[in-house]
């Protein structure tokens, strides 16, 4: 292949169904993914009001097994996993030696000697190499391209939809619970997790189940939702996105994510010494709103004609019907604030996060 040859994009098992629905398909992290089916704002509202389903099969899926898996993962990750209960998921971080965030991820403890991990698609290769290098006595398996995938069912009606899909009630009743129900599609693996701030579930399917489960969800009235609305929803809920609110130059303390590095004061893990040596962060992640113009990623934030921060993410919020953004601001600076778009300033207002209350624990 020549240097200038187009990239061969991976496709999820639902690619044909997305195309048949008229989705706008775009390259994303090496995959061809649905950005939207109709209106990004309409899809966002459908999730907040009822239920939507996202194909997130591009997310990287890893298995780690063996007698030493808990101890080795505990040393490899920022968050403690040795005390993670069976049948529970946990949000945590993969850190550099200096405490910078290589990625955020979710660990699922499926057995005494088995953990399933889902990481960001854009970081798949680096995360895999990093974890394998840190887990000398653990069996490691990357199943991202096994033909299966992940369907994220999100929204206030997701509980009832899941009951109709599986024929069972009260699956994964608590936030971060896991379940393995029998269903008309065979055994499913379900986690009460998501990326919208809404009550919801992520359904892990194999290559045979993916299409039929998707079709049934749509039959039950669930709206298909693309990556565009997913970004709006996660930002409304102030959930961090790698490459925006978090990256190698940001620590969990900067991002307000201390809970994701459980036991950092006493545990021995990669990045722990650096975290213990840090003082209080000099910057903080805040919310911004604007009247008309969306503060976009990279826009400087100014106070009294001095730059005091920078925008991480910005969208037009379907729920609030206005522009919202996150930004890192120097601690202690007072407004009023403006954002600068190529030298043209417009006012922004600092607000508390999240923009939309979380209902994931409801």
Q: What is the pLDDT of residues 278-331, one digit of tens each?
A: 999 999 999 999 999 999 999 999 999 999 999 999 999 999 999 999 999 999
Confidence of residue 5 (pLDDT cuts 50, 70, 90): very low
Give pLDDT, residue 165: 98
Give pLDDT, residue 362: 87
Mean pLDDT of 78-89: 97
Give pLDDT, residue 58: 98
Strand partners, 107: 90, 117
Please state the domain extents for the chain: 15-57+147-236, 283-351
Residue among 96, 101, 107, 353 at smallest CA distance from 244: 101
DSSP code of residue 59: S
Q: Please tell me whether residue 87 adopts helix, strand or coil conformation.
A: coil
Mean pLDDT of 91-106: 98
Give pLDDT, residue 316: 98
User: Do the beta carbons of residue 171 and residue 179 sit within 8 Å?
Assistant: yes
Q: What is the pLDDT of residues 38-54, one digit of tens each?
A: 999 999 999 999 999 99
Mean pLDDT of 163-170: 95
Give pLDDT, residue 336: 96
Give pLDDT, residue 66: 98
**Residues whose CB is less than 8 angstroms from the CB of residue 3 and which lie 6 or more positions away in sequence, other chains included:** none
Q: What is the pLDDT of residues 169-203, one digit of tens each?
A: 999 999 999 999 999 999 999 999 999 999 999 99
CATH superfamily of 15-57+147-236: Probable tRNA modification gtpase trme; domain 1 (3.30.1360.120)
Sheet holding 200-205, edge to edge: 178-179, 189-191, 200-205, 149-154, 52-55, 223-225
Rounded Cα distance, 100 and 80, in Å: 17
- Whole-number mean pLDDT of the chain? 96
Confidence of residue 7 (pLDDT cuts 50, 70, 90): confident
Please name the fold of domain 283-351: Elongation Factor Tu (Ef-tu); domain 3 (2.40.30)
Confidence of residue 4 (pLDDT cuts 50, 70, 90): very low
Mean pLDDT of 104-124: 98
User: Do the beta carbons of residue 300 and residue 341 sit within 8 Å?
Assistant: no
Question: CA torsion sign, 230 to 236 to 240 to 244?
Answer: positive
């Amino acid at each position: 292949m020549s240097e200038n040859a187009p990239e061969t994009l991976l496709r999820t098992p639902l690619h044909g169904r997305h195309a048949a629905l008229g989705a706008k398909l775009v390259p994303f992290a090496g995959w061809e993914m649905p950005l939207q089916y109709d209106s990004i704002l309409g899809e966002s509202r459908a999730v907040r009001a009822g239920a939507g389903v996202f194909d997130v099969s591009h997310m990287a899926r890893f298995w780690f097994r063996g007698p030493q898996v808990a101890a080795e993962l505990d040393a490899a990750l920022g968050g403690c996993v040795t005390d993670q209960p069976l049948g529970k998921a946990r949000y945590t971080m993969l850190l550099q030696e200096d405490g910078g965030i290589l990625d955020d991820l979710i660990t699922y403890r499926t057995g005494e000697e088995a953990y399933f991990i889902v990481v960001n698609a854009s970081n798949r290769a680096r995360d895999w190499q990093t974890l394998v290098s840190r887990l000398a006595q653990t069996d490691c398996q990357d199943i991202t391209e096994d033909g299966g995938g992940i369907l994220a069912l999100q929204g206030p009606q997701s509980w009832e939809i899941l009951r109709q899909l599986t024929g069972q009630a009260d699956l994964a009743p608590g936030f971060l619970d896991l379940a393995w129900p029998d269903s008309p599609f065979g055994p499913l693996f379900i986690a009460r997790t998501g990326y919208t701030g809404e009550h919801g579930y992520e359904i892990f399917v194999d290559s045979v189940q993916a299409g039929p489960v998707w079709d049934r969800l749509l039959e039950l009235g669930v709206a298909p939702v693309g990556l565009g609305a997913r970004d709006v929803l996660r930002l409304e809920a102030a959930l961090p996105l790698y490459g925006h609110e978090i990256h190698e130059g940001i620590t969990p303390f900067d991002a307000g994510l201390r809970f994701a590095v459980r036991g950092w004061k006493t545990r021995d893990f990669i990045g722990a010494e650096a975290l213990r040596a840090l003082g209080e962060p000099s910057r903080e992640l805040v919310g911004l709103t604007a009247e008309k113009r969306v503060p976009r990623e990279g826009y400087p934030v100014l106070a009294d004609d001095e730059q005091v921060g920078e925008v991480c993410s910005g969208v037009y919020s379907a729920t609030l019907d206005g522009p919202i953004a996150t930004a890192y601001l120097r601690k202690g600076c007072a407004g009023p604030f403006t954002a600068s778009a190529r030298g043209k300033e417009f006012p922004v207002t600092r607000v508390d996060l999240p923009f939309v209350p979380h209902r994931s624990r409801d």
